[in-house]
Chains A and B, each alone.
Chain A
Amino acid sequence: MVKHATDGWERRDFLGGAALLALLIGIPVAAIKLDDLPADEAPTDRQRLLMSHVAQLVIPRTETPGAGDVGAGDFVLLALAHGLSGSSDPITPETLPGLSGHLRHDGSLRHADWLESDLDRRSNGNFLRKGIDQAKILGGLDAEAYADGMDKHPWRTIKTLILTGYYTSQAGGSQELRYEPVPGRWEPDLPVTPDTRAISNDWTAVDFG
């Protein structure tokens, strides 16, 4: 059983959930160093908690850990602060209501601030409040972000980073999916069965999938 990583998240200098998992099962991971971020990019403790919940809602715990369990929330926050997946590109704030209040000077969006604000608004105040149907609220945001004609949406960027945080974690990459660092052979045509799992380090698929 994997320990739920949110237990230790009160401390800013705590390693991400992936590191906690590593301690538990003894694999090396690179620490997610949020405390190296400049003050105006550092997430609040509430944002860390919220992003962890959101990650877990996207990829929940099944027989393998969920995205929140493995620290994908902290990875997303690190990635947003460093501009991964185009998250530091300037945006056009008029495309959606509620974006203009969360812009950096360079016109890029503070995604974590926006998400916190947006989910709280959808929750009439506090997305993290007990009794809130978080899955329904997040599902509503997801449906809007993927509606026909909507090709750019900040939620898509965050969701992309959640997927990255999860499927490049040890649990997501090698327990939920298969990780084959040294295949040693090329088998060009194999049958797919219901048990066939995708390979997390199929690099061509990762790049172009």
Chain B
Amino acid sequence: MDFDAIVVGSGITGGWAAKELTEAGLKVLMIERGREIRHQQDYDTEMKAPWEMPFRGIGDTEMYLKQHPVQMLNRHFTEYTEKHFVNDAENPYSTAPGTDFTWFRSYQLGGRSLTWGRQSYRWSDYDFGANARDGHGTDWPIRYADLAPWYDKVEEFIGVSGQSEGLKQLPDGKFQPGMALNAVEQHVRSAILERWPERCLTIGRTANMTQAKPDEGRAACQYRSICARGCSFGAYFSTQSSTLPAAKKTGRLTVITDAVVEGLDFDPATRRVTAVRYSDTKTKQTHRATSRIVFLNAGAFNSVHVLLNSASEAAPNGLANSSGVLGTHIMDHANTLSALALMPGFEKHTSFGNRPTGVVLARYRNMDALDGVGHSRGFSFQGGAFQSTWTAGRRDAGIGEAYKEKLRHPGMWRMVLVGFADCLPRATNRLTLDRSRLDANGLPTLKVQFAFGKEEGAALAQAKAEATEMLTAAGGVVIAGGDQPGAGGTAIHEMGGARMGHDPATSVLNKWSQAHDVANLFVTDGAQMSSTACQNPSLTYMALTARACDAAVSMLRENRI
């Protein structure tokens, strides 16, 4: 064997797998399809001012429409960050008729850990028990207690700032001190609590540190809120700032970049993966690497791609797919701007610094009582209050000195609540390979078939009505709101496709994120998810990865795999 373990992908979960496995004493190969980006050395635009950018930070729309027509729809995609997102023209995918799906991707060392939104929330037993309760999807084979110690470990290592609130539906964690609410948010929190004591608006729990970790070379947040450019302070969690240095420190990690995994070789006699086949994206030469175990962390859809593309005579429908559910039950949160309100009365208040998180208003529906209207799961809100600056001038009539003087000062406060609703797992929402359309590496492209259903629409309708009610109760004047979800993928929480479950006949992975069919194969990114909850999922991916690594190492030591 070349290695003890091969980790496919270097993003949020790939970094964690590399860290945990190397620290456990394993010799690990990490394979990344994109280019190398070195911490603190390759964040080319990090310190640039707008006037140092050819298109002032907005970017060349004409070029984006040709090269990045999907990625340009991502709020974090700017002239500063464009190189942290894929070129869509070179990395095509297709959609089934009627499907509107935006697949946001970052192919580079660190993957989307460089560009993620950093919101870090624990799931609760309302979430792990959701499928069993309402019968959608398949039951999770784990519950909160299985994951709680791993959440502890992950939060302490990556650095999550937040406020403990004692909420059963949004369990507290090992938090660094939370960032403060601004004056408007504090007022809205109080106004909501006064009328609806069960509704808690709190500061976002974010992987931006408020306390330095000097032993790990990481400083506290500098309140720039330009994280997606890369942060030389190491103040937010990324592979580069956090897990990769830890894995490298062991001396047991080998990293190969610019190498796309084509598939896994499978020995039907032993029912083991015997090699990982990868192609050098520059020379186009194919190589094989061998290891005792393989962790797939290529990102939810791309891990499914690897498995589907590993079809063989012994596994004609794709590796680890004796159930036939591989690629099915993909999900993404249904989200929309539920309410936008003007917040008069705070004209004498302002703030300083770019806080890199908004607020969260935790789920309060369909917990112990089923009180959702037309839906059986949860929705929560993220958002915040902010003042306008010069861009507000585009809405205002006027020219000349008075107009300039008006724009010189902070503008009116507004508050937004963006609803995130649970997405039901559906067999009809699925990924398939399109072998008639190849990408630049000669690999078949993914075809996405996806639609939200009436449950998501009902949840967002209730979210809109209640967001409006809450902001109005807090003195706001609601001027806009929506109840229709954006395109699939908009939440950038695409997940599922290799779901975890009790039964090998109806799921791909067992409770250890281990393939039912292939004992030395683990899938620990978003592909393993059996439901979505209404919280951001990355923290849960990380906790599941750490837990799976621990299990895999035990199995190896006991010669069970």
> A-side interface residues toward B, CB under 8 Å?
18, 22, 27-33, 57-60, 62, 75, 78-79, 81-85, 88, 135, 138-139, 142-143, 145-146, 156, 159-160, 163-165, 167-170, 172-174, 176-177, 179-192, 196-209
Q: Is the CB of A170 within 8 A of B354?
A: no
User: Which B residues, 43 to 69, have Cβ-Cβ distances below 8 Å to chain A?
Assistant: 47, 49-58, 60-63, 65
In the complex, identify which listed stretch (B94-102, B124-132, B290-298, B384-392) lies at the interface while the others stay far away: B384-392
Of all chain B residues, which has the CB nearest A58?
B399
The listed residue (A177, A182, A191, A202) touching B408 by CB distance below 8 A is: A177
12 contacts between A and B (CB under 8 A): A28-B51, A33-B54, A170-B51, A180-B352, A185-B223, A189-B182, A196-B350, A198-B411, A199-B352, A205-B387, A205-B391, A205-B392
Q: Is the CB of A143 within 8 A of B390?
A: no
Q: What separation, in Å, do the CA atoms of A201 and B57 have in the docked complex?
A: 11
Q: Is the CB of A191 within 8 A of B349?
A: yes
Q: Is the CB of B75 within 8 A of A207?
A: yes
Q: Is the CB of A182 within 8 A of B347?
A: no
Q: Is the CB of A60 within 8 A of B183?
A: no
Q: What separation, in Å, do the CA atoms of A146 and B397 have in the docked complex?
A: 6
> B-side interface residues toward A, CB under 8 Å?
47, 49-58, 60-63, 65, 75, 179-183, 186, 221-226, 347-355, 384, 386-394, 396-401, 403-405, 407-411, 414, 416
Q: A30-B53, A187-B353, A198-B410 are in contact. Are A203 and B226 (CB under 8 A)?
A: yes
Residues of A within 8 A of B181 (CB): 188
Residues of B within 8 A of A169 (CB): 50-51
Q: Is the CB of B223 within 8 A of A186?
A: yes
Residues of A within 8 A of B50 (CB): 168-169, 173, 200-201
Q: Is the CB of B387 within 8 A of A186?
A: no
Q: Is the CB of B62 within 8 A of A188?
A: no
Measured CB to CB, the closest approach of chain B to A205, in angstroms, equals: 4
Which among A62, A165, A198, A203 has the highest number of chain B CB atoms within 10 Å? A198
The listed residue (A84, A142, A187, A208) touching B58 by CB distance below 8 A is: A84
Q: What separation, in Å, do the CA atoms of A200 and B390 have in the docked complex?
A: 7
8 new A-B pairs (CB below 8 Å) besides A192-B349, A198-B408, A209-B411? A82-B61, A82-B63, A159-B394, A167-B390, A186-B351, A198-B387, A201-B50, A201-B354
Q: What separation, in Å, do the CA atoms of A185 and B351 have in the docked complex?
A: 10
Q: What separation, in Å, do the CA atoms of A43 and B50 have in the docked complex?
A: 24
Measured CB to CB, the closest approach of chain A to B347, in angstroms, equals: 7
